[in-house]
Amino acid sequence: MLAKRIVPCLDVDKGRVVKGKKFQNIQDVAHPVDLAKKYNQDGADELVFYDITASNEERNIFLDMVESVAAEIAIPFTVGGGIRTVEDIHQVLRAGADKVSINSAAVKNPLVIKEAALRFGSQCIVLSIDAKQAANNRWGVYINGGRQQSNLDVVDWAKQGEALGAGEIVLNAINTDGEKNGYDLALMQSVAAEVNLPIVASGGAGTTQHFAEVLQDGIADAALAASVFHYGEISIPELKTELYQSGIEVRRDLQWK
């Protein structure tokens, strides 16, 4: 049976992992490769790296980091941030990433999803959506690190992304991000009901119970979190044991050396 995934997310700025609250007040926490190795040993199912600065000069530092991570860990990882063109995607895949997540660039040029899916396959093209609540059960798509509102509705955009060939959708709820009061279940559910792609929930994890809520069938297939893992507030082996005990299928053969 397909296991629900636990996905630590590492925001990387100039080669360091950082984490902000509601995308602001960025704090430095650790070296990405060290954290990646630790999460691999702990039994994380997947990792996500977002290059949050992604200026051209720093791009090579980031690509080197991607390659170092690929050398150290044998679990899948996704890379996002600053991905604009099919060539950008090619570069990170060549550096050793398994999937690439596209956010603002896809809003500005949806065809990049289609071109990339045709060239590399849908399975490695992740559409990442920053969602902010607009009304009851309505969310707007935000771009440029959550700073700018687009004119898209989240559910419509997710459906369009699926039609263009995205293979997975990450939904980052801006309202709940960094608050540790739980994932935005209504957001996840609204999108899950309309698309037939795996949904990765992001934004708001604070307790193991929050993971258990969002990983119910019909809501999300994977749960992404950053600070609760980075600061050791939740340990992945304990989280997985609790999820298993509450009847959620998780990968538990934690034979990491």
* Contact set with other proteins (CB under 8 A): 1-5, 40, 45-46, 67, 70-71, 74-76, 93-99, 118-124, 167-168, 196-198, 221-222, 251, 253, 255-257
**Closer Cβ to other proteins, 143 or 239, answer by number:** 239
Between CA 177 and CA 33 the distance in angstroms is 24
CA-wise closest residue to 193 among 220, 159, 227, 218:
218
CB of 135 to other proteins, least distance (A): 28
Catalytic residue among 42, 51, 88, 130: 130
CA-wise closest residue to 129 among 98, 160, 85:
160
CB of 121 to other proteins, least distance (A): 4
**Closer Cβ to other proteins, 98 or 242, answer by number:** 98
* CB burial readout 124-136, b (16+ within 10 A) else e: bbbbbbbbbbeee
CB of 28 to other proteins, least distance (A): 28
CB of 245 to other proteins, least distance (A): 17
- Residue 207 Cα to chain centre, angstroms: 18
45 among known catalytic residues:
no
**Closer Cβ to other proteins, 34 or 217, answer by number:** 217
11 among known catalytic residues:
yes
The phi and psi torsions of 181 (rounded to 5 degrees) equal -110, 10
Residue 8's H or E segment, with its range, is strand 5-13
Q: List residues with catalytic annotation.
A: 11, 130
